[in-house]
Amino acid sequence: MIVTLVQAENYEYVQKLFQYYIYDMSEYTGWPPYDDGTFEVDDSVTGLRDYWTKPNHFPYLIKAGGEIAGFSLVRKYPEDKECFDMGQFFILRKYKRKGIGVQAFQLTVSKHPGKWMTRVLPDNTGAREFWLKAIKAIASTEIAIETELYKSTEMEFIRFETATNLSNC
C-alpha cells in the first residue's frame, strides 16, 4: 500500500477518477449525470483544482499492489486552520471491504498528525461505519460527532486527534 502526493501534471488523472467518486455519491446526493452520460467534474463546484493551486491542500493517490486504488484529498479546514480536513476520500469498488480503505486512510492521516475532521452525509451509513472503524484505530482522543451544515448541506462532522507517532500505520 502506497499513498503519495499527486503532482500537478497528474491532476487530470485524479479528475477522471473523481467522476467515479461523484457517481458513487449520487446515491446519496441525487446528482444526475450530464446529458452526455458522464459525471464530469466542475471545479467551480467541487474545488478539486484547489488541491493543486492553494496552500495547505494535499492531494494523495492511493495504490494497492501497484495499481491505482483511489485518492485522498486533505486540506486545512477553512473555518479552523488548526484542523486537517479529509475533503474527499475515494476507493475504487474492487478494493472495498478488503481493508485497503482503512489502511490508506491511516497512512494519509499519519502524514499530518494532530486535529482532524471528516464529514459524512447522514444517509450514508456505510461511510459512517467505515469512518468510525478507521478513526477508532488511530484516534488519540475521544471521537466527537456533531450534525452541522456544510455548504448548505446537513452533514455529520466527525472530529478526532491523532498522536505524533501513529504506530498502527
Question: What is the pLDDT at residue 153?
Answer: 86
Residue 166 lies inside a defined structural domain of this protein: no
Question: What is the pLDDT at residue 100?
Answer: 95
Question: What is the pLDDT at residue 164?
Answer: 59
Q: For residues 62 and 55, what is the distance between their CA atoms, to the nearest angstrom?
A: 21
pLDDT of 156 higher than 80: yes
Q: For residues 120 and 111, what is the distance between their CA atoms, to the nearest angstrom?
A: 22
Range of the domain at 55: 2-161
Q: For residues 100 and 169, what is the distance between their CA atoms, to the nearest angstrom?
A: 12
pLDDT of 55 higher than 50: yes
29-49 pLDDT, tens digit each: 888 888 888 887 777 678 899
Q: Structure pTM?
A: 0.90
Residue 168 lies inside a defined structural domain of this protein: no
Residue 89 lies inside a defined structural domain of this protein: yes
Domains contained in the chain, number: 1
Question: What is the pLDDT at residue 161?
Answer: 96
